[in-house]
Amino acid sequence: MALLTPEDLENLSMQLEENDEIAKKVTGLDIRGICKALYDTEPGTEKVGIIPITAGNGVISNFTSSLLFIVRYFGFEGFITEHPDVTGYYEAVSQGADIIMMADDHIFTAHNLRNEKIVSNHVATGVIYADIASRFQEATSKDILVIGLGRVGYAGACHLVNKGFNVYACDPNKEFLHKAVNELGIKPYCSDDRKKFSMVFEATPNADTISEGMIEERCLVSTPGIPCGLPPEIGQKYHVDLVMEPLVIGVASMLYSVIQN
């Protein structure tokens, strides 16, 4: 998945509101409700310490403040450490953080120090976006299409298999596809089959990955991808409902997944 830019993090509140409305319309639950149903957890008194990390390309402008907004929106107490890196970690623990959130160029994690649960953003994001797609109330079958089988897509595909869906998938990387077929038992998607789907989980960092031949007249596309894989003209033509935003939904999934049942 692509690294976020400061521009991606603008207007998070508005994006969350829009996606909440769409999710509620097509699944019956808003993002908070989906997280609660998915993990059977609810925020309590957990305090979240957010640590800026300077390794690699350094701190993304607005990233930690965006995390703090998300943490508080979903009912957690949170704070950003004054110092980054190891000093920030010491500071977070000293100030009583129950959950630590931090990210470098390769991984973004939430770690609950009390129950020892830890999750990466790519797994939590894949699981919740796949779960959103699977909850489409107008779905015509249990068939669901996964586009992209990298870390995010694979995690989502695994979740869908465990939920009992008929998972079809495609990825130009044949090694990724064969791995998912062999390990998860999913079916390779071939456009020549002319099979169409009412539920699509798109997990690539590429635009225009969804073509007309893939989707039914009424369809839900759920994607954390930047840029969006759904061409606007196809979305309009087929009346596609689209759940997509760059950070909030995945972070909510991380938080709900590491709190105590």
Reading phi first (left if > 0) and then psi (alpha if -120 to 50, else beta), residue 28 is in: left
Q: In one letter, which amino acid is 258?
A: V
| Residue bearing the bigger pLDDT, 6 or 51 | 51
Whether 61 shows a pLDDT value over 80: the answer reads no
Whether 161 shows a pLDDT value over 50: the answer reads yes
What are the tens digits of pLDDT across the range 197-232? 999 999 999 999 999 999 999 999 999 978 999 999
What is the CATH number for 107?
3.40.50.12150
**243 pairs with which residues across the strands?**
222
**Predicted local distance difference test score (pLDDT) of residue 236:** 94
CB distance 50 to 78 below 8 Å: yes
Alpha-carbon distance of 33 to 13, in angstroms, equals: 17
Whether 3 shows a pLDDT value over 60: the answer reads no
Residues 85-103, mean pLDDT to the nearest whole number: 98
Task: Verify that 200 and 89 share a domain, yes or no.
Answer: no
What are the tens digits of pLDDT across the range 96-111? 999 999 999 899 999 9
Integer-rounded Cα Rg, in Å, for the chain is 18
**Predicted local distance difference test score (pLDDT) of residue 6:** 58
Alpha-carbon distance of 118 to 138, in angstroms, equals: 34
Which pair of structure tokens corresponds to residue 226?
């930047």
**Predicted local distance difference test score (pLDDT) of residue 56:** 75
> Measuring CA to CA, how many Å separate 130 from each of 17, 76, 100, 178, 203?
20, 24, 25, 20, 9
Residues 21-41, mean pLDDT to the nearest whole number: 98
Instruction: Quickly list DSSP for 42-76.
Output: ---S-EEEEE---STT-PPTTHHHHHHHHHHHTT-
Residue 11 banded pLDDT, cuts 50, 70, 90 = confident
Task: Verify that 114 and 184 share a domain, yes or no.
Answer: no
Segment among 80-84, 115-119, 154-158, 190-194 with least mean pLDDT: 190-194
* Pairing status of strand 143-147 against strand 77-80: unpaired
Cβ-Cβ contacts under 8 Å for 139 (sequence gap 6 or more): 198, 199, 220
Residue 34 lies in a domain: yes
Q: How many domains does the chain have?
A: 2
| Structural domain range at position 136 | 123-245
Task: Verify that 22 and 98 share a domain, yes or no.
Answer: yes
CA dihedral 202, 196, 29, 208 (to 10 degrees): 30
> Measuring CA to CA, how many Å separate 103 from each of 141, 155, 219?
38, 19, 34
| Residue bearing the bigger pLDDT, 79 or 245 | 79
**Predicted local distance difference test score (pLDDT) of residue 55:** 87
Task: Verify that 145 and 231 share a domain, yes or no.
Answer: yes
Which pair of structure tokens corresponds to residue 115?
């129950």
Task: Verify that 155 and 42 share a domain, yes or no.
Answer: no
**Predicted local distance difference test score (pLDDT) of residue 79:** 98
Task: Verify that 138 and 58 share a domain, yes or no.
Answer: no
**Predicted local distance difference test score (pLDDT) of residue 1:** 42
- Sheet with 240-243, edge to edge strand ranges: 187-188, 166-170, 143-147, 197-202, 215-222, 240-243
Task: Verify that 81 and 93 share a domain, yes or no.
Answer: yes
pTM (2 decimals)? 0.95
